[in-house]
Each structure stands twice: as structure tokens, then as C-alpha cells.
Chains A and B, each alone.
Chain A
Amino acid sequence: MRSLLSTLAVIFFSPAIFAAAPIQHWQTAQGSQVYYVHTEGLPMVDIQVVFDAGSVREANQWGVASLTADLLESGAGQWQANEIAERFERVGAIFSSASSIDTASVSLRTLTDKPLFESAIDTMRVLISQPRFDDADFLREKNRSLAGLKQQQESPAEMASLAFYEALYGSHPYGHPSSGTLATVTALKVNDVRAFYKSHYVAANAMVVIVGDLTTQQAEQTATTLVKDLPIGTAQPPVPEVTLPTQAQRKHIEFPSTQTHVLVGIPGTYRNDPDYFDLYVGNHILGGGGLVSKLFDEVREKRGLAYSASSAFIPMLKPGPFIANLQTRNDQTTQALQVMHDTLTDYINNGPTDAELQAAKKNIIGGFAMRFDTNKELANYVAMIGFYHLPLDYLDNFQQKIAQVTVASITRAFKQHVPVNQLQTITVGKSAK
């Protein structure tokens, strides 16, 4: 094994350059941004139309962004939900729509054979530009959404996550649940959805991502077709800045579960943060490296306290959360929290060792090609690059950016972005009697 490893080390220091497929970028006549990557080998394409229409945009009507995205396939143009579903499914296309905090996305996976492809694209165009939002559909989907919210309350993990975002962001639009609450969704009217759609699903606020086996000309035509019926509209204003919690706080929610779910964190980093790569590599060592990380080792491997123990930065338009989490038997909560706290504090104060950093770099750089070895993953990367205005050569420079990270840069970045005395802690479970 030793000789094999030293050979590999040599390979690592002169990595074979794996160029990602180049991203072509243009703008439609109405001002929508288009990002296209040509991939070969399979007669298929993944398409996303992404709107700046996530829950960050919904003011006090929590849940309206999600309900709007859900309702697109419930009726559009002359079609009811059944006809829409049949139009996609009879050509083997897979359609979905969803919203997150920052975005709302409409996605299509289809074969590229002309009649099938054109039928699927045409259906998608109508859904995006002429949704009906009929009363009956609205009421049904609203009721389903309310049922989903009740089911959310069955899950200690979900309850912990909701409390966590609230603790980190307070009244900032990142602080409220993306799917709303029972009270806010109950209060929604069909006109709220119509109004949200009208102001947010506009060309100036839309981005088209195409990854697959099309020619550039076909991609241009497809992008134009998809958004041509959208009014130009106006782009959304900037998202408000995030204010960090000023002091460490702990909140416990009593829950009838056998485990206590623990979340510790703080608003951490945003997509265009110059410190992003330092934090990314640093977190890989701390808790992001799957079966190899400090948290995994301390909590699970050494002590058997939890099945999963990990940490992550979730970069968004504004600083998204840094989250460290575990779940443990209720009566072990104090011990597990202590282990997590000690591991975090030690890491933030002292940073990684050089050996840890080298191992992390080998993993991230060596596994680079696996990040987007499917059409779908590549499409997600391209959507991220487009939405967050990252450089088009982001993937080409990724390995180099990772290689430039140092022990000192990680240590500095963690001290700055993850201040120990401001961390928020949420526990959800049955407290020990």
C-alpha cells in the first residue's frame, strides 16, 4: 500500500486537468439570462427555469412562494392538471417545480427526439407563462400544503430546523419557514398567489439553464420559446443584509421523541464570499467529509453517540447558515452537546493541522470530476453559477482555488465567520427528567 500511496501523491501534485464542459451564456430579447452546456452521449436534456421567487421574497405571506410554484402544474392555458400531466408523461418527460429560500425552479427532463422534445417544451412554456390559478386548484393545493405542515410537526428534525433558522435570522426573510406556518398558509387567498406570480415570474427575474444533447441553435430557440411570453417586468430589489445574533443562545423544544436533535450554528457565508473556499475546505475537515471528519470521529467513531454528526455551510445570496448537527438518545444530550461544543471550539481556536488540510485537498481535488458526472448534477452547478453570478469558469478554477487554501486562511476565516460566543443552539427532544 505504501508504494501505491506515494505514486498517488505524485499524481496529486500534478493533477490531470479535467476541464468541465464550457458554459455558453447569453441574454434573451426580454432580458432573461441563459446558460447552456452541451453534453453528448445520451439523447436527453435537463432544463431549468429559475426565478428570483423564493421564500425570501414573500414578505408576511409565508408559504406563498412555495404554493405558487406548486400550482403551476395544476392548470395552465386551456389545460387542467390531468391534461398537463398527460402531456408530459406520454412523451416520457419528467416535470417538477419547487421553491427554496432564494429561488423558485421549474425543471424538465426530456428526450431530445424532435416531436417529443417540442411537445414537452411547449407544455412547459404554457405552464410558466399562463398558469390558471383556479380557485378549486388553489384550495386543494392549499389543503395539501396544510397537511404537509402538520406532518412536519411529527418530525423532531424538521422542528429543530425551523427553530434554528428563526434563531439565526429572526425577522430577516431567511428566518421564516419556506413552506409557511399553519396560520400564514390558512390566511392565503388565491389572489395572493396570483399577485406573487405576476410580480415575480417575469423575464427580468428569470434564468434558463440547459444542459444536454442539443445544438447551440436548438438551445437558443428553446430558451427563447420558454420565456418569450413572459412580461419583461422588473428585477427584484437586493435582499436585506443579515445581522448576526449578538450572543450565544440555547433554545430547547420539548418533543415526544426518543432522540434529541441538536443543531448549532450561525449565519456563515454567501456564494460570492472571497472566504468561501477557505470555509469550504475548513468545514470539509471539521464535519463535511462524509465518513472522515473531526465531528464524525469525535461523536460517532470514538463515542458511539450518534448515527450522523456533520457540519455544513449553506451559502446563499446573503450569508446562509453554518450548521453543525447530531441526534442522540435523550439522556445523552448533555454529553453529546459538550463533545460537539469542544470539537467546534477547539477547531475554531486552533484550525486544522497541515496533514488534515493536505488530506482534505486530496479528497476534494481528486474527487472533482464526481461533482458533476451526471447531466443533472451539472445542470444544478450551472444553475448555481448563473443565479449567484459566479464566474463562468467557476468549475474550471475550482481545483486551483481549493489548492490555494492554507491552514492560516482557514483559521482566520473560521474565527471571523464562526464566532464561538455567538453560536445558536437548538435542541428538540424529551428532556431528561
Chain B
Amino acid sequence: MKHRILLTVLLSLPVLTSHAEPAVVEAILDNGLKVIVKEDHRSPVVVSQVWYKVGSSYEPEGITGISHMLEHMMFKGTDKHPAGEFSRIIAENGGDENAFTGQDYTAYFQTLAADKLAVSFDLEADRMRNLHLLPEELKKELEVVTEERRMRTDDNPQAKMAEHFATMAFSNSPYKHPIIGWPDDIASYQVDDLIAWYQRWYAPNNATLVVVGDIKTAEVMALAKQYFADLKPSVLKPLKPQVDIAQLGQRKMVVKVPAQLPSVLLGYKVPSLNTATTEQDAYALEVLAGVLDGGNSARLSKSLVRGQQLAVAASAGYSLTSRLANLFELDATPAEGKTVWELETALKQEVFTLQKQLISAEELQRIKAQVLASAVYERDSGFYQAMQLGMLETIGLGWQKADEYVTKINSVTAEQVREVARKYLREDQLSIAYLEPQPMNSAHSTKPARPL
């Protein structure tokens, strides 16, 4: 049992305590803007992120993707800073910037030399309330987003399958539609749609400002007040719950697209940390994902890719931090001569084994060691630390969950892992999609595509 000894060493690392994590400080301005600051003095750099509580899961049908569209339009100027100025000013100050939209959030970020933080605040505060939304800009940007969709999804067989899969796995949960939106919806946005979306969600009391870097907390708070305090809050209408209706049995679909390789995707309905009635269930599912796919020694690599050699690739994924209940996903690509059905059986067998047998002490310790080490590695990146705080806050869990993570994972037992496997990874809660490759009809398909 030398593994156990190693873990004990890991858990009592003296270096870890002497490198104690710097404190996170939060403040809420009178207008409702939450400001979260973490000092990190390893580099003379600062990252500043503005997170809005809005994303594709907030969107009604007909305007899917509008959060992402608005993210693009946020670079199109205000009275103070006409189109193009935002990016030009950030660039001239040595900054990097971009934005991203997810199911549960829309976020904007800049990384800058630490003494340039005010440049970011000035611009972000301005576009939080004063954005220009003009028809001629929208017309062009619609085309850009359509090209983005073609590149990310339409010309990518795996992404296309995932998109179709979500429409089947979810009944009425807004997680059923893609973040980028359906093509017809993208083509049909009107300026009024965007103005309404912007006015509804872009307000200080629906935003979180996260700053991590070589700064002094008190100075950041003062600066935040200086730039953001005058912004008017909005009256926020509560979001409708849209809880997915109970699934009443296994669902299956075939997705036929031009491709070279077949694949299979399985998804079980599971709670997230936000929706679980018992938090520990979510942490146990997180450990379960680690048992299956937490590295090259995890079960999917060990058993499916190497042992039985059924798959050329296999992975498992769980979204601990989603706002709504989500899927525990398993996906795999068969090895030459193997079928997606053989893989499906093997993946289900892995689930069955987790329900029958306790995971080994070594497996549990390996995952805990990895989590503990990751907690150190993550601090190498200020951007990552800011991401973590912003995301937890935005999905409604609160940034404090970041501090609890290691302790909570450490408290998970083998019995709890077996229990969540039994409770949630049930056939009736399962959706399955098969990618059935169609001929690519190009000079490069020298061989016909493999059948399933």
C-alpha cells in the first residue's frame, strides 16, 4: 500500500501551506455590481473580466444564439468610443482581449500590464450601458457569425453530431439548443431583438467584475467604484425555471454526415453542483468522471483503448459547474474492425462495473492526488483563476466554491461513487447517438467510408 503513503505525503505538503493561496476579496457596489479581486504578484500583469449572467440557456426559441450575437456586437462602439476604438485602445495599451459565450454566461476580458487596469475599466463600464446597436453593423456581423457557425459546426462531423444529440437528450431544457444558435435564428435577428436582450441583461446588478493580478485590492476597489458606480442598475425579471421534464426511457438516434470515422456518444441525465439536492452527489460524479477518464491510467484508456483495443479514443465528461441539470457523457471512436455497438456495450459495461463494485483505494487516491496537484498548477495562470471565480459566481454557486473544491473531492468515498453510479447512470436516463459516416465524395476519399 505504498500508494496510500504517497497520498499522505501529498496531503500534508508543508510547501502547500507556506504557499497559502492569496485571499479573494469581494465587494458589491451600490448599483449591484459585484467586484471580486485576487492578488497574484508573480508577474507584473493583470487580467480583468466582466461576466454577465446571460448565455444560450437564457434564450427563448426563435432567437437562439442571440447572447453570442450580442457578444460580437459589443465591439461595435458607443458614443464615447466609436466602432473599432475599443480594440484599438486595448491594443495600443499592450493589451490582449476577447470575449466568450457559454450556455450560462457571457464574458469579456482583457489582459494588460498591471498599471493599465483603468484602461479596461473605462471601456468596459462604457459598453455595459451605452452600446450602439446599428442595423448596418448587425448585417455585417450576422455574416461573420454565420461563417463562425459553418467553421465550428457545419463542417465538423463531431460537432454536428453533438448538436443533434442535445436536441434529443433534452426535452424542454434550454441546453437543447446550440450556443451559437440555429441558422434560421441567426439569419433573422433584428436590431430590436438585440436591443431588448442588451437592455434586459447588461446591467451592473447582473454582472460580476473579476480582477486577478499584480494589483492592490484596495486600489482595484477604488478604481471599480470610480468607473462603474455611476451605471444605473436594471430591474431584473427572474428567469423561468425551464427544468427538463423527466425522461421516460432510453433515446437513440443516428446522425448521418460525410465523415471518415464512426463514433458513439452516450449521455446520462445528471444533476450539477447547482441542482443536486445533495452536493456530495455532484462531487462524487466528478470523481466518477476521474475514474473513467482522469488521465492515461484511468479506466477508459486502460480498458477500452489499450486492454480490449475496442476504441482508438474514448472519453468521459461531467460538467460540475453548469447552472441547470446536464449530461454525464461518454464518447468513443471504434478501432478498425470494431463497431459502435461493441463500443456501446463496452461503455455500458464500464458503468455497470461502477454500479457493482467499489472503486479501488488506489484509484480514489490517484484522483485526489491529481486534484490536489491541479490546485497548485492552476495558480500558474491568472486568467484561469479569474475564469474559475467568474464562472462559479455567474452560475449562481458563488466564487467561494473554488476554495472548497479540494476539500470536497477529498471527502468523497468509494461508496459514494458507487451510489451515484447506481442513482444516476440508469438506462432510462440515457440518450445515445451514433455517427454514421457518409461518403465524402472528394478526390481524397480513396476508400469508401466505413459502415457502422
Residues on A close to B: CB < 8 A?
1, 4-5, 8, 11, 16, 18, 39-44, 73, 81-82, 84-86, 88-94, 109-113, 115-116, 119, 140, 143-144, 146-148, 150-151, 153-156, 159, 182, 253-259, 289-292, 297, 300-308, 327-329, 359, 362-370, 373-376
Residue B235 at the A interface, CB < 8 A?
Answer: no
Contact A292/B91 with A91-B369, A144-B313, A307-B151 known, Cβ cut-off 8 Å:
yes
Residue of A nearest to B43 (CB): A373
Q: How far is the CB of B114 from chain A (nearest CB, A)?
A: 8
Q: Is B67 in the interface zone, CB < 8 Å from A?
A: no
**Residue of B142, B145, B301, B306 contacting most chain A CB atoms (<10 Å):** B306
**B93–A369 CB distance below 8 A:** no
Q: What 0/1 readout, one digit per residue, does chain B (426-449) give for beta carbons within 8 Å of chain A?
A: 000000000000001111111000
8 Å CB contact of B6 from A115, A150, A253, A308 = A115
Instruction: Decide yes or no whether B147 CB sits under 8 A from chain A.
Output: yes
- Determine whether the beta carbon of B13 is less than 8 Å from that of A366: no
Q: How far is the CB of B91 from chain A (nearest CB, A)?
A: 4
Q: With A91-B10, A290-B91, A369-B44 as known contacts, state yes or no: A307 contacts B444, CB within 8 Å.
A: no
Question: In the assembled complex, how far is the CB of residue A412 from the closest CB belonging to chain B, in whole angstroms?
Answer: 25
Would you list 15 pairs from A and B whose C-beta atoms are within 8 A, ordered by A residue?
Answer: A1-B81, A39-B42, A42-B376, A82-B306, A110-B373, A307-B147, A307-B151, A362-B91, A366-B112, A367-B113, A370-B96, A370-B113, A373-B43, A373-B382, A376-B380
B301 touches A85 (CB 8 A): yes
Contact (Cβ within 8 A) A86 B94: no
Question: In whole angstroms, how far apart are the Cα atoms of A366 and B96 in the complex?
Answer: 10
- Write the nearest CB–CB distance from A143 to chain B, whole angstroms: 6
Distance in Å from the Cβ of A68 to the closest Cβ of chain B?
A: 18
The answer on a CB contact under 8 Å between B157 and A154 is yes
Cα(A88)–Cα(B370), bound, Å: 10
B residues in contact with A92, CB < 8 Å: 10, 369-370, 372-374
Distance of A417 from chain B, by nearest CB (Å)? 24
- Give B residues with C-beta under 8 Å from A: 3, 6-7, 9-10, 13, 15-16, 19, 41-45, 75, 80-81, 84, 87-89, 91-98, 111-113, 115-116, 118-119, 122, 139-148, 150-151, 154-157, 258-261, 294-297, 301-302, 305-306, 309, 312-313, 333, 335-336, 362, 365-366, 369-370, 372-374, 376-377, 379-382, 440-446
Q: A89-B294, A91-B6 are in contact. Are A289 and B91 (CB under 8 A)?
A: yes
| Contact of A373 with B45 at beta-carbon distance under 8 Å, contacts A258-B150, A258-B155 already known | yes
Residues of A within 8 A of B445 (CB): 153
Residue of B nearest to A144 (CB): B312
- Would you call B119 and A43 a contact (CB within 8 A)? no
Q: Which of A89, A256, A305 contacts B258 (CB under 8 A)?
A: A256
Shortest 4 CB-CB distances between A and B: which pairs?
A: A366-B94, A92-B373, A85-B297, A304-B143
Provided the pairs A86-B366, A367-B96 are in contact, do residues A153 and B440 lie with their beta carbons within 8 angstroms? yes
Whole-angstrom distance between the alpha carbons of A182 and B380 in the complex? Answer: 39
Chain B min CB distance to A419 (Å): 29
B84 touches A362 (CB 8 A): no
Query: What is the CB-to-nearest-CB distance from B92 to chain A, in angstroms, rounded to a whole number?
Result: 5
Q: Are B155 and A359 in contact (CB under 8 A)?
A: no
Contact A307 to B148, CB < 8 A, known contacts A113-B15, A369-B43: yes
A362 and B155: CB pair below 8 A? no
User: Which residues of the other chain, B, contact A254 by a CB distance below 8 angstroms?
Assistant: 442-443
Taken together as a complex, chains A and B put the C-alpha atoms of A95 and B408 apart, in Å, by 26
> Are B144's CB and A85's CB within 8 A?
no
